[in-house]
């Protein structure tokens, strides 16, 4: 029987973060279910040279740019071949690996976004690329990709996450249901520990109510209890789905945290404290407003993640 494979676009730039992304995929993603396209947009000259054509010494700059181009292309070719070798060693068949170095057409981010229209289930990007600006929360290319792609699942890799435990953040929405369903596509070892995690955020009713504190607290407790009961049923179904997909039921845990003010912060703190290196979350939660390409919680999770892989599932 022919298995339909998920096709992932891996945007790389030869940086350490790109190498970490390839390493994560080699160790974590199921090779038998996945085809990878390693994709690099190559600028013919460094960005700093684009506006130098009016400079009197333009010709000298151009010569240096040609030298730079030759060196960078050689480095990128070497990076791609090393990545291919690593992925082959991890069990990916040669026919499921494609290496592409494309000349810059419109711009790095725009060229990557154009490539995503050619039939992919997800795109994988590094949090910070070749730029060494430590004050940037996300590299400029990654930020543009996150803001522009509304209908494609994506993985943002920060640092060098290990292929450890998986935290699946759920909220009862269709988005989180799809996130749970997607987990078997990105996990090589079905013996991995998986936690189905929900956060019941505490709402502040005091500014909206004229009743006393006891009434406010009672209303808040009733809301949280009702939410918990609904989520228990949702998590039951999610857990059954993972078991049906082959996960060991003894390795699936479930956890609901109540009374916190930040859902994204609580998800990240849970991952840090309990060594979850991969977070899976739906792109949009309960709110279905189309004007938000990225849900508020998933966006904040990406911004806060360190040494983790965050999968945002459409």
Tell the residue number behind the tokens 């609580």, with chain if given: 266
| β-sheet bridge partners, residue 11 | 39
Q: What is the pLDDT of residue 137?
A: 39
Which range (164-168, 194-198, 203-207) has the least confidence? 203-207
DSSP 219-236: HHHHHHHHHHHHHHHHHH
pTM for this model (two decimals): 0.85
- Asked if residue 285 has pLDDT above 60, the reply is no
User: Is the same domain home to 279 and 196?
Assistant: yes
Domain boundary among 160, 184, 210: 160
Structural domains counted in the chain: 2
User: Is the same domain home to 62 and 132?
Assistant: yes
User: Is the same domain home to 306 and 166?
Assistant: yes
User: Is the same domain home to 232 and 195?
Assistant: yes
User: Is the same domain home to 3 and 95?
Assistant: yes
**Percent of the residues in the chain that have a pLDDT greater than 90, as a whole number:** 60
More confident residue, 214 or 84: 84
Q: What is the pLDDT of residues 237-276, one digit of tens each?
A: 999 999 999 999 999 999 999 888 899 999 999 999 999 9
User: Is the same domain home to 274 and 143?
Assistant: no
Q: What is the CATH number of the domain that holds 241?
A: 3.40.50.620
User: Is the same domain home to 63 and 88?
Assistant: yes
User: Is the same domain home to 196 and 309?
Assistant: yes
Which range (159-168, 208-217, 280-289) has the least confidence? 208-217
User: Is the same domain home to 153 and 179?
Assistant: no
User: Is the same domain home to 92 and 166?
Assistant: no
Which whole number is the average pLDDT over 96-124? 94
Q: What is the maximum span of the chain, computed from C-alpha positions, in angstroms?
A: 78
Which range (76-85, 94-103, 159-168, 206-215) has the least confidence? 206-215
Which whole number is the average pLDDT over 117-142? 69
Which is it for the CA torsion 139, 142, 145, 146, positive or negative?
negative
In what helix (H) or strand (E) does residue 181 lie, and over which residues does it extend?
A: helix 174-182
Burial group, residue 32, by CB count within 10 angstroms (0-12, 13-18, 19+): exposed
Mean pLDDT of the chain: 85
- Asked if residue 287 has pLDDT above 80, the reply is no
User: Is the same domain home to 147 and 277?
Assistant: no
Domain that residue 134 falls in: 1-160
Q: What is the pLDDT of residue 190?
A: 92
């Amino acid at each position: 029987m022919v298995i339909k494979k998920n096709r992932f676009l891996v945007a790389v730039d030869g940086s350490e973060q790109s190498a970490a992304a390839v390493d994560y995929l080699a160790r974590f993603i199921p090779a038998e279910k996945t085809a990878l396209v390693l994709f690099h947009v190559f600028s013919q000259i460094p960005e700093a040279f684009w506006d130098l054509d009016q400079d009197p010494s333009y010709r000298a700059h151009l010569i240096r740019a040609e030298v730079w181009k030759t060196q960078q292309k050689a480095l990128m070719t070497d990076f791609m071949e090393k990545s291919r070798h690593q992925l082959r060693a991890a069990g990916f068949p040669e026919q499921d690996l494609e290496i592409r170095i494309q000349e810059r057409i419109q711009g790095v981010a725009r060229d990557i976004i154009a490539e995503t229209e050619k039939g992919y289930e997800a795109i994988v990007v590094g949090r910070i690329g070749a730029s060494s600006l430590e004050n940037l929360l996300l590299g400029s290319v990654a930020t543009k990709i996150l803001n522009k792609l509304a209908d494609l699942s994506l993985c943002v890799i920060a640092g060098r996450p290990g292929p450890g435990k998986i935290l699946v953040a759920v909220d009862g929405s269709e988005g989180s249901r799809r996130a749970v369903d997607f987990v078997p596509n990105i996990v090589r070892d079905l013996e991995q520990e998986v936690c189905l995690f929900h956060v019941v955020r505490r709402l502040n009713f005091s500014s909206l109510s004229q009743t006393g504190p006891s009434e406010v607290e009672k209303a808040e407790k009733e809301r949280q209890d009702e939410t918990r009961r609904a989520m228990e049923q949702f998590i039951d179904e999610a857990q059954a789905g993972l078991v049906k997909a082959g996960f060991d039921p003894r390795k699936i845990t479930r956890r609901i945290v109540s009374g916190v003010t930040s859902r994204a912060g609580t998800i990240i703190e849970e991952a840090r404290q309990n060594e979850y290196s991969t977070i899976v979350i739906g792109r949009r939660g309960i709110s279905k407003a189309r004007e938000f390409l990225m849900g508020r919680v998933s966006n904040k999770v990406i911004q806060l993640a360190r040494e983790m892989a965050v999968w945002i599932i459409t």
